[in-house]
Structure 1
Amino acid sequence: MFYFLLWILILVTSFLLFRKVSGSMSLLTPNLISITFYYSLLASSYIGSLLIVLNIDEHYMIRLLSDDIYRLYGFVFICFIMIFMPLTMFLFSKLIGFEAEAEFKRYVEAPVYKEENPNLLFLTYAGLTLVSLAAIGYTVMKIGIGNVPILSLLRGGGNLDAMRIEASHNFSGNTIIRNIFGVALTPILSMITFIYFHQTKQLRWLALFAITAGGAVFMQVYDLAKGPIIFYMMMVILLLIYLRIIRLTWLKISVLAGFGVGLILVMYIFIMGVTDTEAFLSFNRGPIGRVILSQIAPFYLHLDLFTDRLPLLMGQSLPSSLIGLYDLEQIRSARLAMEVFFPQRVEAGTAGVLNTLFAAEAYANFGYAGVMIGTIYVALYIQIIYVLFIRLPKNPLFLTLFVYFSVNIPRVVIGGFADFLLNTLWVSILVVLLTPYLVLQAYKLWNNRRQLQELS
């Protein structure tokens, strides 16, 4: 009873703090902060922590703990994160004078700016579309058409688990081309081109949108991963809300949730071959268990592994571009944990990594200090991004990037700490998209100055 009452108290306090720093916690108008709270913390971490500390989880990963004391340690750490993450955001917002409720409401209700030089913009995004299509073609070529998991599934092929790992984790081609120009850029282009079509109603923008949307859907499902297509749908819905094309109601949310559940069930049946009805409804197995327990369980395995079994990594999980300066080899804690706790799966080629709450990787590297400092750092990182985009002009590019980060930052919160230090994918996407934008802005300023000179 004590743990339950404490859990409720911390939940209420955390929710109130998050509401202060986000401006809205309504599911009808989601944003970066609210999605982080509901998805990354509450659903994927906090609910499971209660079941685990009460010893009623009955989860296969938690059974691997060497001592039940880690159930309590994990619960305490997660409670700390639930309070200190929004508290850090709150103090930062006060420091810079960020009025979350007013500024977020103003952003949602504001129209999207119409950019000048429409022909140059179209040529720019048409060129980027060709680049993304080339990356998709390159990805398929390197995997081999016969080995693309989604195509194999449609043909009724077997051994899909091994094919999924081979396509995603053992990709033989250049992962930069695949991840940046195929996986990440294509869905962003689909949203940008949709905004321009919505503004102009021109068929050329519709054609670009159709091409990029088709490529985006393919790249989200080609390796049979269940999450990416759901997150892409979330980005599209969020974009439509910020464009004021749709207004969510509880009925619409119910319909969308039902559709999402149905899609997940189809994936589990046809991709993973799960047909046991009890597994779908169980709190510690199937889709439900995957969210509330399997996502946070590796956090507890990290605590066990890097407390008594292995020494702290002391920074070796940090981005290779940083530790390479010190001749250190990168060791991602999530992969190391998989190798220690599930060696048979690794040997069989059906295991990837044990991704979980960012604090796990922070702990694996720097212990208790890593969890505390990491929580403050991640909180500041997220709040700075949130404030920055709300205060930037609401044009097609910045709006799309805001939507992209609003969905993908929460995914990284339960993916690892190192990606918050240097995420080469995000940096590359910003360079690819902002470079032509800045060039066009410079051209516009030069052209305006030239016209003024001619008039004078």
Structure 2
Amino acid sequence: MVYFLIWAAVLVISFNLFKKVSGSMSLLTPNLLSITFYYSLLASTFIGSLLIVLEIDDHYMIKSLSDDYYRYLGFFFICFIMLVMPLTMFLLNKLAGFNGEKEFKSYLAAPVYKEENGSQLFYLYCFFTAMSLGAIGYTILKIDAIPILQLLKGSDNLAELRIDASHNFGGSTVIRNIFGVALAPILSMVTFIYFYQRKELRWFVLFALTTGGALFMAVYDLSKAPIFFYAITVLLLLIYLRIIKLTWLRLAILGGFGVILLVVMYVFIQGVTEPSSFLSYNSGPIGRILLSQVGPFYLHLDLFTDRMDLLYGQSLPSSILGLYDMEQVRSARLAMEVFYPQKVEEGTAGVLNTIFAAEAYANFGYAGILLGTIYVGAVIQIIYMLFIRLPKTPLFLALFIYFTVNIPRIVIGGFADFLFNPMWIAVLVILLTPYVLFYLYRLVKKFRKNSMNGQLS
């Protein structure tokens, strides 16, 4: 009872802090912070922590703990994260003079700025589209067997094919991840906005090509999450463009379709056919969200407290570690190898991803959880405030939605990606560089024109 009261109090305080910093926690007007709260923290982490501390989880991961002490330690760490993350955001709001409710409502109501130089922009996005489609074609060529096609052919080793396609990719993951996985959905949003504004066939063609590429990259390796997140991307775009307005009935219908799709994917991809598997709180899709997502956090606490030394930064991106002749060690992969070596050997398991604090703890101990929570909260809030205050142009809106969908996934994916994220940097450099160069060109041209006028006068 005591743990439940603590859990409930933390939930109420955390929810109200998130409401203040985001401006809206309504499911009908989702935003970066509300999705982070509902998906990354509440559903994927906090509910499971209550079941675990009350010892009613009956989950295979928690049974692997060496001591029940970690049930309680993990619970209080997660309560700490639920409070300190939004508190950090709240303090940043005060420092920046950011009124979450007022500024988010203004952003939603604002129209998307219609840019000039339509032909130049079209050719620019033709170039971007060609790069993205080229990367998708490259991905196909570097995969021995495409899992989605093998599913249609009736293959019976889909689990191995999924791991092989995602973790044993034979080509450059930089090309695949940046130009295929990340760039395609952003381009699909930008080209749709231009088509919606201009009603030109050429923009529709680009939209169709980029959307097809984005859908393929979301489903080709039979991962279940990407297609759902792409659907959320589309929904957010339509809401922010004011094309649709969510109601509770529409949300219920969309949720129903999502549940049906998830059941179909579990049946055909993983061969789950028992109805009890879909209704159980500790197995199937429900257990996957409530317990399997937070379970690795407890395994990290167990593994890196007494059994293994801390990694001290070895989880940082290989591009940084290579400068110091160090090999990258992601804690999620290491935990999988220690706790489930047989699955790794069989090629049916990849990593034990969980809330960012697990990787922070694996690398820097208790200080990692303390400072990491403050740091992650600050990064998320700065990104949110920045995009809310930027002009609502097609590109900035698309990038805002990209981060709105991408960040909650990284919150339960790892801490190192918040320290240095090559994909984020590459996407921003690729898409923003032409705009910066064009802006500088216009400034130089204007300066020269003013100089000539001054000489003539």
- Length-normalised TM-score, structure 2: 0.97
1:308 to partner: Cα distance:
1.3
Distance 1:73 1:390 in 2: 37
Where does residue 40 of structure 2 map in the other structure?
40
Residues 333 and 361 of structure 1 are in contact (CA less than 8 Å); yes or no, is this contact kept in structure 2?
A: yes
Letter in 1 for 2:277: A
Distance 1:54 1:93 in 2: 36
Letter in 1 for 2:41: L
Percent of paired sites with the same residue? 69
Tell me, what secondary structure is at the counterpart of 1:143?
coil
Residues 183 and 220 of structure 1 are in contact (CA less than 8 Å); yes or no, is this contact kept in structure 2?
A: yes
Where does residue 265 of structure 2 map in the other structure?
267
Q: Deviations over 1:315-341 (max 9, x none)?
A: 111222333333222111000000000
Distance 2:274 2:357 in 1: 34
Where does residue 114 of structure 1 map in the other structure?
114
Where does residue 361 of structure 1 map in the other structure?
359
Where does residue 58 of structure 1 map in the other structure?
58
Where does residue 319 of structure 1 map in the other structure?
317
1:383 is aligned, of 362, 381, 384, to 381
Where does residue 13 of structure 1 map in the other structure?
13
1:438 to partner: Cα distance:
1.5
Where does residue 343 of structure 2 map in the other structure?
345
1:443 to partner: Cα distance:
3.5
Where does residue 166 of structure 2 map in the other structure?
168
Residues 319 and 421 of structure 1 are in contact (CA less than 8 Å); yes or no, is this contact kept in structure 2?
A: no
Where does residue 404 of structure 1 map in the other structure?
402
2:183 is aligned, of 179, 182, 185, to 185
1:452 to partner: Cα distance:
6.5
Where does residue 420 of structure 1 map in the other structure?
418
Distance 1:164 1:344 in 2: 17
Runs of 4+ in 1 over 6 A off after TM superposition: 450-456
Where does residue 326 of structure 2 map in the other structure?
328
Distance 2:351 2:214 in 1: 24
1:446 to partner: Cα distance:
4.5
Letter in 2 for 1:174: S
1:449 to partner: Cα distance:
5.5
Tell me, what secondary structure is at the counterpart of 2:423?
helix
Q: Deviations over 1:390-413 (max 9, x none)?
A: 111100000000000001000000
Where does residue 68 of structure 1 map in the other structure?
68
Where does residue 96 of structure 1 map in the other structure?
96
Distance 1:95 1:232 in 2: 34
The range that moved more, 366-375 or 319-328, is: 319-328
Distance 1:254 1:443 in 2: 50
Q: Deviations over 1:110-162 (max 9, x none)?
A: 01001111000000001111111111111101114xx1000111121221111
Distance 2:24 2:54 in 1: 32
The range that moved more, 445-454 or 113-122, is: 445-454
1:245 is aligned, of 243, 246, 249, to 243
Tell me, what secondary structure is at the counterpart of 2:309?
coil
1:451 to partner: Cα distance:
6.6
Where does residue 141 of structure 1 map in the other structure?
141
Where does residue 154 of structure 2 map in the other structure?
156
1:236 is aligned, of 234, 254, 257, to 234
Where does residue 432 of structure 2 map in the other structure?
434
Tell me, what secondary structure is at the counterpart of 2:142?
helix
1:245 to partner: Cα distance:
0.6
The unaligned stretches of length 5 or more in structure 2 are none
2:253 is aligned, of 229, 233, 255, to 255
1:209 is aligned, of 196, 202, 207, to 207
> Does residue 24 in structure 1 map to residue 24 in structure 2?
yes
Tell me, what secondary structure is at the counterpart of 1:34?
helix
Residues 357 and 413 of structure 1 are in contact (CA less than 8 Å); yes or no, is this contact kept in structure 2?
A: yes
Letter in 2 for 1:33: L
Distance 1:105 1:452 in 2: 40
Letter in 2 for 1:107: Y
Distance 1:242 1:449 in 2: 37
Letter in 2 for 1:228: P
Letter in 1 for 2:112: V
Where does residue 395 of structure 1 map in the other structure?
393
Distance 2:364 2:43 in 1: 26
Distance 1:423 1:94 in 2: 27
Report the number of matched residues: 454
The range that moved more, 169-178 or 444-453, is: 444-453
1:448 to partner: Cα distance:
5.2
The unaligned stretches of length 5 or more in structure 1 are none
1:60 to partner: Cα distance:
0.6
Residues 149 and 167 of structure 1 are in contact (CA less than 8 Å); yes or no, is this contact kept in structure 2?
A: yes
Distance 1:154 1:365 in 2: 42
Distance 1:49 1:95 in 2: 32
Q: Deviations over 1:362-382 (max 9, x none)?
A: 111111111000000000000
The range that moved more, 45-54 or 312-321, is: 312-321
Q: Deviations over 1:242-269 (max 9, x none)?
A: 1111111101110111111111111101
Letter in 2 for 1:116: E
Where does residue 84 of structure 2 map in the other structure?
84
- Length-normalised TM-score, structure 1: 0.98
Residues 23 and 104 of structure 1 are in contact (CA less than 8 Å); yes or no, is this contact kept in structure 2?
A: yes
Distance 1:128 1:284 in 2: 44
Distance 1:244 1:449 in 2: 39
Distance 1:297 1:129 in 2: 40
Tell me, what secondary structure is at the counterpart of 1:58?
coil
Residues 89 and 383 of structure 1 are in contact (CA less than 8 Å); yes or no, is this contact kept in structure 2?
A: yes
Distance 1:134 1:15 in 2: 44
- RMSD over aligned CA atoms reads 1.3
1:221 is aligned, of 219, 226, 239, to 219
